Amino acid sequence: MTALLPGVDVSRETLERLETFSELLTKWTARINLIAPGTVGDVWQRHVIDSAQLFPLAPPDFSHWADLGAGGGLPGLVMAIIAAEKAPAARFTLVESDKRKATFLRQATREISLTARILDQRIEAVPPLAADVISARALKPLPELLTLLTPHLAPGGRAILPKGRRAEEELAEAATSWHFDLIRTPSMTDPDATLLTLERIRRA
């Protein structure tokens, strides 16, 4: 077994699939804006590992993971690749309204032999997903994000949300309208970033 991250030991096959995904991400970024151009030279650390660190924060028995504003598959496709080994019965739904990015997601799932549902719709237009895990990376400030994600979260579900240096400010803003149980986890890839794990999310 090869250690991808502390807490995530994956097989060589899974590492190879992640490497294939990072190559596809780099290739397609030359045509459409999947990741920031300045991060292309460090896709593995800045995007693959940055996404992979979310996996240990999910419940071990999760059955349906939804990634909102999936963009280039970060973290959604990275989660799906790891779950193919670690949680093979789990379903994945990636929501991305940009048709070009959704096309990339479909192509990547085919080339990596993943099973994931890609919805090229606005989040507000998607029927409730009843996901027990929801992620969203660089999508909206937390108060707006909670409004978007709560209709798609199953009772007892968990939201895992990477946030940057404004995390505490966003939490304070959200607390005026929302109640939730919160765990903060420092990012392994960015000293200014935090992973917010939220449960029991409800309106104040």
Which CATH number covers residue 152? 3.40.50.150
1: in domain: no
140: in domain: yes
Q: Which of 21-35, 88-102, 155-169 is predicted with the least confidence, judged by mean pLDDT?
A: 21-35
pLDDT at 36: 74
pLDDT at 35: 79
Residue 9, SS3?
Answer: strand
| Domains contained in the chain, number | 1
Q: How many CA atoms lie within 13 A of 152 on its CB side?
A: 27
Point out the annotated binding site for S-adenosyl-L-methionine.
69, 74, 123-124, 137
Give residue-wise pLDDT tens across range 26-79: 999 888 988 777 677 778 888 899 999 999 999 999 999 999 999 999 999 999
- Are 2 and 19 in contact by the 8 Å Cβ rule? The answer is no
- pLDDT over threshold 90, residue 199: yes
- pLDDT over threshold 50, residue 189: yes
pLDDT at 108: 97
Task: Extract the tokens encoding 152.
Answer: 């798609």
The band of 5, judged by pLDDT with boundaries at 50, 70 and 90, is low
Mean pLDDT of the chain: 93
149: in domain: yes
Q: Is the pTM of this model over 0.75?
A: yes
Q: Which domain holds residue 63?
A: 6-203
50: in domain: yes
CA angle 185, 33, 166 (to 5 degrees): 30
Point out the annotated binding site.
69, 74, 123-124, 137
pLDDT at 1: 39
pLDDT at 3: 47
Greatest CA separation found in the chain? 46
Using only C-alpha atoms, what is the Rg of the chain? 16
Percentage of residues of the chain with pLDDT beyond 90: 86
pLDDT at 2: 45
86: in domain: yes
Mean pLDDT of 187-196: 95
